[in-house]
Amino acid sequence: MELLLLVAEAAFAGLLLSRLVKKANLPSVTAYLVAGLLIGPNFLGALGIPGLGFNSFEQVERFGLINDVALGFIAFAIGSEFRIAQLRKTGRQATVIAILQALTATVFVDVSLILLHFVLGDKLPIADCITLGAIATATAPAATLMVVNQYKAKGPLTDILLPVVALDDAVGLIVFAISFGAARAMKSAAFSLLAVLVNPMLEIIFSLLLGGLLGVVFSALEKYFKSNSKRLSLAVTFVILAAALSKLKFNLPGGVEIGFSSLLVCMMMGTVFCNVCDFSEEMMYKTDRWTAPLYVLFFVLSGAELDLRVFADWAVVGIGLVYIVFRSAGKYFGASASARLMKCDENICKYLGITLLPQAGVALGMSVTVASAMGAEGMIIRDIVLFSVLVYELVGPVLTKMALTKAGDIKPKATIVSASDDD
């Protein structure tokens, strides 16, 4: 009963706060995150009353299944943006921009933190600097997609934004694997080509293969169902199946490890589905409507996971501020320079970098990997990432909305329609 009660509380808190922030013209995702903070262990849950808010972070983690499914649907929706007709227009541009802006963010963070290392000494080892630089590549697709959907953003900036966000995760996985592998080698005086390069590449390749296979099977089966309700049910089934299969891991002789990225698997499945199935656009629209309550829960739970205790350590706050400033600068200038290189529209050059600031799930996943592998030192990195996620998730959606509005992709009429939908 208590778990169901908490689910109801989370949904109600998110919806209630979204009504309050609506008058301030803020994105709903910001309201959901703040609602999660308020009913989480930092505030209401701290009272220790069973069933009234989340009493501990361990209790929040028990709802991980909701997060896994929600991220699967988010990746599936982003994958549907990779339509062949659209890729012919923006595919090359999106690929170059995704790679260059991610690498620029890594370089900016690496250089700034290494310089800070010479001030702080052993409090900030160089291995930690390059690990944080790799984590800087990751962008949160969930917050971006929510803002795009809420305000029905449409235009050149939105057309290139979603593919860039999707490709960003693949680039981030490679950069993180190489940088973290190098960081661990620095600490152990050992170097493993498997850990640094082979295993991450296998993860990406097998994730795309699994997603492609599921997309083909899904598209074939969908044709046998004529009613919209059954087609929608099949879509939900396959996204959940993809998220489940992504948990598989195979250890082969010689230290070779084959794992899967849920984001890449679900994204690839969405890409194949939207290019093979004739009625994919209609199904994606219906799926988006079905997942609206799921996204509310996802973001409220994400807000509840944010631990304000990171503010107690001034070293974490200081390093976190440097990380935030230079990652933001790297994303902005990297996106702007690469967009100009690819001769994109002026609005894309000016505003794309701002829309790439949100950071959450993928970055937190990387930090958890670091914490489990590096012990106490890894926990410091996780706290720094937690601090940055707290800032980015609360500020990022607002900045994304502002950038899309300035670029003309969010129009006053669309905002009014979206508001009526939220009612």
The answer, yes or no, to whether residue 333 has pLDDT greater than 80, is yes
Say yes or no to pLDDT of 422 above 80.
Answer: no
Q: What is the mean pLDDT of the chain?
A: 83
Model confidence at 100: pLDDT above 50: yes
Model pLDDT, residue 415: 43
Write the pLDDT tens digit of every residue in 144-201.
Answer: 878 888 888 888 998 888 888 878 877 877 787 778 777 776 766 555 556 556 777 7
Mean pLDDT of 212-233: 89
Lowest-confidence region among 61-75, 120-134, 169-183, 291-305 = 169-183
Tell me the pLDDT band of 105, cut-offs 50, 70 and 90.
very high
Q: What is the pLDDT of residue 8?
A: 92
CA pair distance 88, 86, nearest whole angstrom? 5
Q: Amino acid identity, residue 128? A: D
The whole-angstrom separation of Cα 362 and Cα 176 is 11
Structure tokens at 273: 């589905």
Structure tokens that stand for 135 in this block: 């984590």
User: CA 198 to CA 191: how far, in whole Å?
Assistant: 13
Q: Contact at 8 Å (CB) between 335 and 396?
A: no
254 contacts 194 by C-beta, under 8 angstroms: yes
Confidence (pLDDT) at 366: 75
